[in-house]
Amino acid sequence: MGRYLFKRLVQVPIVLLVLITLSFFMVRLAPGNPFSGEKKMDESVRQALNAKYGLDAPWPIQYLKYLKGLATLDLGPSYKQKGLTVNEIIAEKAPVSAVLGLTAMILALALGLTAGIISGIRQNSNFDYGSMGVAMIGLSVPTFVVGPLLALVFGLKLGWLPVAGYERMAGPIPYPQYLILPAITLALPFAARIARLTRAGMLDVINQDYIRTAWAKGLRERVIVLRHAMRGAMLPVVSFLGPAVAQILTGSLVVEQIFQIPGIGYEFVKSALNRDYTLVLGTVILFGVLLVAFNLLVDVIYGFLDPRIRYA
Amino acid sequence: MSDPAKPLPVLELDDLRVRFKTDGGMVHAVNGVSFRVDEGEALGVVGESGCGKSVTNMTVLRLIPTPPGEVSSGTIKYRGTDLLKLSAKEIRKVRGGKIAMIFQDPMTCLNPFLRISKQLTEAILLHSDMTPDEARERAIQELERVGIPDAAGRVDSYPHEFSGGMRQRVMIAMALCTDPDLLIADEPTTALDVTIQAQILDVLRRLQAEKGMSLVLVTHDLAVVAGMCTRVVVMYAGRIVEEAPVDDLFADPRHPYTIALLGSVPRLDDPVGRHLTPIEGLPPKLAEEPTSCAFAPRCTYAFDRCRAELPKLEPDPDGRLRACFVTFKDGVPVEPVDAGGAA
């Protein structure tokens, strides 16, 4: 296990370096640059700006300079948001997305696991049909439809919750009412995936011979499901959760846009459109680190869940 | 039904019928099975795949999923109590506690995610008042009795760390660690190779004698029955076609299906060059309950009555039970009893 972990950890910087390199050049290959926007700008001003940020240097030089900064965890200045560094922007926005994402993930897990387990052990029951129907809707109706619909019903018509906005209570944490609708919107497709995966896993396990053995011992259904069936049924869900958690924590452009939430998901898309090179790279690196970390975590959890897996 | 002079049987099935609703229509898997298992007795249940022998025995512990399964009639009495009438809570006490079961494939019947110790002690704790430490001690003892070397050192292993034969030993230990008085072994050796089979049967035979428990051995392997059981019931198409003490069955089979079964297995005392005789054709699909002899289409001796009427399981003059209109002596038909009178 220790050896395996060490090998995986050694791979991490390599994976990240490939990711950084590809993103670095790809974002520069896209037409335009940070200062080629729609606003008319004097040629001398443009040249001065390019010189100030080192954008007049050849790409390999820019690349090495960027890596040098990264070595000290410096993601550089934002080219478009004056006076702010990428580190500052991420430190400001990412926690907001993380709070929303974490809430949504907890919601998605609670809903998805419950629905999935019950549907799995009561296959073809009304509950099964009902929850899988809802899951199908959750999967196929995009968030940009669900979000405004929820805001319309619960915000405008019923007036129970704010339509949008993000009033902070402490740090990145808002008053709960601002979190409810965006969290539900964000959670729905994830809950649907988790429910379907859990149900499929449960169905697969519940028909195994060893479950029949458990019944023959005289165990109660609750014990059979929780002790004998859950672990096996969870394996596909855990695989899904690795990338899903990384994704949900780094925010969603659509949900943050609809509900006017100052998160990093919105910044990412804006920076890509603006050719804010350093901010694009910064957010890509953030997502990459999280993705690698959670996938590693999933592999470790796998080893705890399934004793047949041996790390070598 | 039961004779007051005889002691109460451990298990008594009467006219059990089980059917399954499938996408392709109803399947009548068990069509009126009656047999009993006496105290300390080893009963063999023999028949080819799909004859209803497993379904019958799974139904005893109500392990048939319902739906699609359904017991349409009959009783299953354990020491006089009808198991089919028990509440969910009461049947759980019987499962594993009074009647234990082991299954065919030890590779898939143990939970791969749980340690052997957990899988054994959970059964012990469920059916006794032992403390977890005592249960663990008991589990180790039971593993030793089934011949697991270094049981104390291996009790915390996972199933995949054992071989197939060892896993079946663990299954047996798991079934017996609660001191049940009836063990139903459903094809316990089918998935194992021949030398391991012999070892497992040895363990079963020894423990049955030591614990004085009754045994129902479900198998398609006549050799296994010959070595283990005192009495045999032969099943075909969800019905019992013959029942006899084991030696009598081999010496003097009286149902064409039994005769055909015996003809299809090799024997050590066969003359060199004897060809095995397969049973031609396939067992019926059982979409309907049979109304005539289900074996007739494959039977060499069938005559008109066999195709029109269902033979009942009835005693011969010497008390042996069989369901056939033809009389046999030493495996050869003597006369069609009532051949003309049926029409």
- Please indicate if any CB of chain B lies within 8 Å of the CB of A305: yes
> What pLDDT is recorded for position A38?
60
- Please indicate if any CB of chain B lies within 8 Å of the CB of A104: no
Residue B306 falls inside a structural domain: no
Collect all residues of chain B within an 8 Å Cβ-Cβ radius of residue A214. 111
- Please indicate if any CB of chain B lies within 8 Å of the CB of A231: yes
Collect all residues of chain A within an 8 Å Cβ-Cβ radius of residue B101. 216
Query: 3-state DSSP call for residue A140?
Result: helix
Residue B322 falls inside a structural domain: no
- Please indicate if any CB of chain B lies within 8 Å of the CB of A122: no
Output the CA angle B161-B163-B167, nearest 5 degrees. Answer: 90
The per-residue pLDDT string of chain A (312 residues; one tens digit each, 9 = 90 and over) reads 778 888 888 988 899 999 999 998 988 888 877 777 666 677 787 788 788 777 888 888 888 888 888 888 888 888 878 888 888 888 888 888 999 999 999 999 999 999 999 999 988 899 999 999 999 998 999 888 988 898 889 988 898 888 877 878 787 888 888 888 999 999 999 999 999 999 999 999 998 999 999 999 999 999 999 999 998 999 999 999 988 998 888 878 888 888 888 888 888 888 888 888 889 899 999 999 999 999 989 988 888 888 888 765
- Do B171 and A213 make contact, defined as CB atoms within 8 angstroms? yes
- Please indicate if any CB of chain B lies within 8 Å of the CB of A307: yes
**Bond prior to B67 in cis (omega within 30° of 0):** yes
**Do B82 and B148 fall into the same domain?**
no
Q: Which residue of B has its CA nearest to A232?
A: B113
Q: How many CB pairs under 8 A join A and B?
A: 70
> What pLDDT is recorded for position A271?
86
- Do A213 and B111 make contact, defined as CB atoms within 8 angstroms? yes
> What pLDDT is recorded for position B50?
80
Best B92, B111, B160 residue to mutate vs chain A (most A CBs within 10 Å): B111
Residue B135 falls inside a structural domain: yes
Q: Are A276 and A78 in contact (CB under 8 A)?
A: yes
**Do B174 and B185 fall into the same domain?**
no
- Do B61 and A212 make contact, defined as CB atoms within 8 angstroms? no
In CATH, what number is assigned to the domain containing residue B52?
A: 3.40.50.300
Query: 3-state DSSP call for residue B322?
Result: strand
Quote the tokens at residue B62.
């109500």
Q: How far, in Å, CA of A174 to CA of A185, rounded?
A: 17
- Do A232 and B113 make contact, defined as CB atoms within 8 angstroms? yes
Interface ipTM > 0.90: no
Collect all residues of chain B within an 8 Å Cβ-Cβ radius of residue A213. 103, 109-111, 171, 174
**Do B146 and B114 fall into the same domain?**
yes
> What pLDDT is recorded for position B341?
36
Residue B296 falls inside a structural domain: no
pLDDT (tens digit, 9 = 90+) per residue, A136-176? Answer: 998 999 888 988 898 889 988 898 888 877 878 787 888 88
Total tally of structural domains belonging to chain B: 2
**Do B84 and B222 fall into the same domain?**
yes
* Distance to chain B for A195, nearest Cα, Å: 22
Collect all residues of chain B within an 8 Å Cβ-Cβ radius of residue A307. 112-113, 115, 158, 160
Collect all residues of chain A within an 8 Å Cβ-Cβ radius of residue B172. none
**Do B147 and B185 fall into the same domain?**
no
Collect all residues of chain B within an 8 Å Cβ-Cβ radius of residue A217. 95-96, 122-123, 126, 174
Q: What is the DSSP letter of A28?
A: H
The domain of B189 spans 11-98+180-286
Quote the tokens at residue A142.
């995009």
Q: What is the DSSP letter of B95?
A: B
**Do B202 and B137 fall into the same domain?**
no
**Do B82 and B194 fall into the same domain?**
yes
**Do B221 and B280 fall into the same domain?**
yes
**Do B242 and B119 fall into the same domain?**
no
- Do B63 and A212 make contact, defined as CB atoms within 8 angstroms? yes
pLDDT (tens digit, 9 = 90+) per residue, A32-79? Answer: 777 776 666 777 877 887 887 778 888 888 888 888 888 888 888 888
Beta strand pairing call for B182-186 and B25-37: unpaired
> What pLDDT is recorded for position A311?
66
3 state SS for A213-279: HHHHHCCCHHHHHHHHHHHHHHHHHHHHHHHHHHHHHCCCHHHHHHCCCCCHHHHHHHHHHHCCHHH
H or E stretch at B124: helix B116-127
Residue B164 falls inside a structural domain: yes
Q: Are B32 and B42 in contact (CB under 8 A)?
A: no
Which residue, of B129, B155, B179, is where some domain finishes?
B179
Query: 3-state DSSP call for residue B133?
Result: helix
Mean pLDDT, 10 residues at a time, over chain B (343 residues)? 68 91 87 90 88 89 86 90 90 91 88 93 92 93 88 91 89 90 89 82 87 90 87 91 91 88 79 79 82 86 85 86 83 61 35
> What pLDDT is recorded for position A37?
65
- Do B109 and A209 make contact, defined as CB atoms within 8 angstroms? yes
Q: Using CA atoms in the order B236, B238, B243, B248, what is the torsion angle rounded to 10 degrees? A: 20
Q: How far, in Å, CA of B78 to CA of B75, rounded?
A: 10
**Do B185 and B281 fall into the same domain?**
yes
> What pLDDT is recorded for position B286?
82
Collect all residues of chain A within an 8 Å Cβ-Cβ radius of residue B126. 217-219
- Do A218 and B101 make contact, defined as CB atoms within 8 angstroms? no
Chain B: which residues have CB within 8 Å of chain A? Answer: 61, 63, 92-97, 100-101, 103, 105, 108-115, 122-123, 126-127, 158, 160, 171, 174
- Do B160 and A307 make contact, defined as CB atoms within 8 angstroms? yes
**Do B276 and B203 fall into the same domain?**
yes
> What pLDDT is recorded for position B182?
92
**Do B72 and B122 fall into the same domain?**
no
Residue B24 is which amino acid?
G
State the pTM of this model.
0.81
Which residue, of B286, B303, B336, is where some domain finishes?
B286
Beta strand pairing call for B42-46 and B214-219: parallel
Collect all residues of chain A within an 8 Å Cβ-Cβ radius of residue B127. 218
Site of tokens 């379904």: B55
Residue B339 falls inside a structural domain: no
Q: How far, in Å, CA of B28 to CA of B13, rounded?
A: 17
Q: Which CATH number fits domain A93-263+297-305: 3.10.620.30, 3.90.420.10, 1.10.3720.10, 2.60.40.4070?
A: 1.10.3720.10
Helices (H), chain A: 2-29, 43-52, 59-71, 86-121, 126-140, 143-150, 177-206, 209-217, 221-223, 230-249, 253-258, 264-274, 277-305
